Chains A and B, each alone.
Chain A
Amino acid sequence: MDDLVLEIQGLRKSYKKQCVLQHVNLQVQHSSICALLGPNGSGKTTLLKIILGLIYPTSYILFKNIDKEDIRYMPQHPNFPPNIKVSELLSLIQSLKKQKGEDLEELIYTFSVESFLDKCIRELSGGMKQRVNIVQAFMFPGYLYLLDEPTMGLDPHVAFLFKNLLRRKRDQGAAILFTSHIMSEVEQLADELVLMIEGYVYMQSDPQTIITEGDAMNLEQALHHYWIAKVD
């Protein structure tokens, strides 16, 4: 139990007409990278937002072994305000957090953000914005990282650096929960895989097991097998 950062049981979220999350059970452990997989509309983002407290669930049992202050979030489309500079954005976040970003300078260096620190957000490309997004999420140390499609729009080199960052965070003891579409990425990174379909957690296991059990070459193929089996 002490290893758990987060445990969710029987989570339901329904809007007036449709049920987004039917019945979700999920456990996230320290020092692990957990991937949330699933087709569009399967409730991944909603799940992340519920953990953050942005969305109020209909019914749930939620254990958080950590303080709200220790959760970091990287949204999918952050839509930073267009008219302020990157540096101003970062200092805004620091002053709201009331502490200095410990890893700020290192991150700026690693993800080569300094070249556009003095530019306004609206002048940035999608990849640049995503790099800013990474910096804002990782500048303070945290125990639980919630990342919504974090590698979207990153060039391969930056994506590589980013994955290294994630591994290092894991090795330092943090838990990382991220959503993704890219199977190879999940296969490389994840210690744990959660497959969500239509508001259910369909499967929670580690990728290697899935591949072996599915008698497949890789994760993609294994999931394909699962998918066909489910439809049948």
Chain B
Amino acid sequence: MKTIIFYELKEMIRNKWWLGYGLSFFILSSLIFHTGVTESLRASASLLNLVLLLVPLFSLVFGSISFVENMPFQEVLLAIPTSRFSIFFGKWLGLSIGLSLSFVLGMGVSSLWYSVNVVFLMGLGVVLTFIFVSISFLLSNFLKKKELIFGIVLLIWLLFFLVYDVAIMAIVSLLSDYPLEKLIVLLVFFNPIDVVRTMVTIQEDLSAMMGYSGALFYKYFGSGMGVSLCGGILILWILFPLILGYWKYKRKDL
């Protein structure tokens, strides 16, 4: 499996998109650091949004392209023979590590340049990479047609990034007569992007804006337990699609 991981990494680093991915993070985060004063609340929100926008999008697209395009080559590897297990997980690890590397380098260099501490956000970005590569593998294995996969991948991205939050707002506005606090907290768990957003909200102490009426939120997210709860949910978000995807891959005709 180690061989597969290194091969995936090598293959990825020579891809021009890998460079583009890191560069776009370098440029865009530098722009944000440069224009927004780092202490400004809105600047940190833009930085967060940059991560929440690009990381899932790239991970999904890159993950599914890499999986689908390399399908014929997998025949060669499987015939060597190599186990499906090491191909699947090796590829997953290689891709995730490669994308994370590009992201961390891009954002890390620019944050060092402007000496801003974004380690927490970068850590979450890495976790998001692993999550969305998992999801892309899941989709690539359950859907047959290539064009369909890319369509669905973009849809999923749109769903998590945008539609989901719209739905939360819609629910709130439609059901505003009922107590909804628990529902909102629960809904947050079902979208990894929102979980990350919540973790940053807590860490940056934006949750102070809820005042005392956000008590329930604090109960679930506030303390160290809240952070570990969020962390646990993110790990589930990695494992669940990954294992389901592998389950399918193992039974699949290639």
Query: B-contacting residues of A (Cβ < 8 Å)?
Result: 49, 52-56, 68-69, 71-73, 75, 77-81, 83-84, 88, 92-93, 95-97, 120, 136, 146
* A-B pairs with beta carbons under 8 Å apart, 23 shown: A54-B75, A54-B79, A55-B253, A73-B79, A75-B72, A75-B76, A75-B79, A78-B72, A78-B73, A80-B76, A81-B7, A81-B11, A84-B7, A84-B11, A88-B10, A92-B3, A92-B7, A93-B77, A93-B80, A95-B3, A96-B77, A120-B14, A136-B76
> Which residues of B are found within 8 Å of A49, using beta-carbon distances?
75, 253-254
Binary per-residue interface labels of chain B (121-146) against chain A in the complex, 1 for a CB within 8 Å, 0 otherwise: 00000000000000000000000000
Docked Cα-Cα span, A81 to B11, in Å, equals 7
Give Cα A56–Cα B11 distance, bound, in whole angstroms. 30
CA distance A54 to B7 in the complex (A): 22
- 6 extra interchain contacts, Cβ-Cβ under 8 A, other than A52-B75, A78-B76, A81-B73? A49-B253, A75-B76, A77-B72, A78-B73, A81-B70, A120-B14
| B8 CB, min distance to chain A CBs, angstroms | 9
Interface size class of B (residues with CB under 8 A): 20 to 34
Shortest distance from the beta carbon of A31 to any chain B beta carbon, whole Å = 22
Is B41 engaged at the interface, CB distance under 8 Å to the other chain? no
Q: How far is the CB of B221 from chain A (nearest CB, A)?
A: 43
Chain A proximity of B33: nearest CB distance (Å):
32
Residues of the A chain whose Cβ atoms lie less than 8 Å from the Cβ of B254: 49, 54-55
Report A-chain residues with C-beta under 8 Å of the C-beta of B11. Answer: 81, 83-84
Within 8 A of A (CB), among B33-91: 69-73, 75-82
Contact of B173 with A by CB under 8 A: no
Note all chain B residues with C-beta closer than 8 A to A71: 79, 81
The answer on a CB contact under 8 Å between B70 and A96 is no
Contacts of A78 in B (CB 8 A): 72-73, 75-76
* Interface presence of B182 (CB below 8 A): no
Whether B219 is near chain A, meaning CB under 8 Å from some CB there, is no
Q: B15 on the interface (CB 8 Å rule)?
A: yes
Tell me whether A96 and B72 are in contact (CB under 8 A): no
B15 is contacted by which of A55, A72, A83, A88 (Cβ under 8 Å)?
A83
Q: State in angstroms the CA–CA spacing of A56 and B72 once bound together.
A: 17
In the complex the two chains form, is A79's CB within 8 Å of B251's CB? no
Over the window 239-254 of chain B, the binary record of Cβ atoms lying under 8 Å from chain A Cβ atoms (1 yes, 0 no) is 0000000000001011
Q: A73-B75, A77-B72, A81-B11 are in contact. Are A96 and B82 (CB under 8 A)?
A: yes
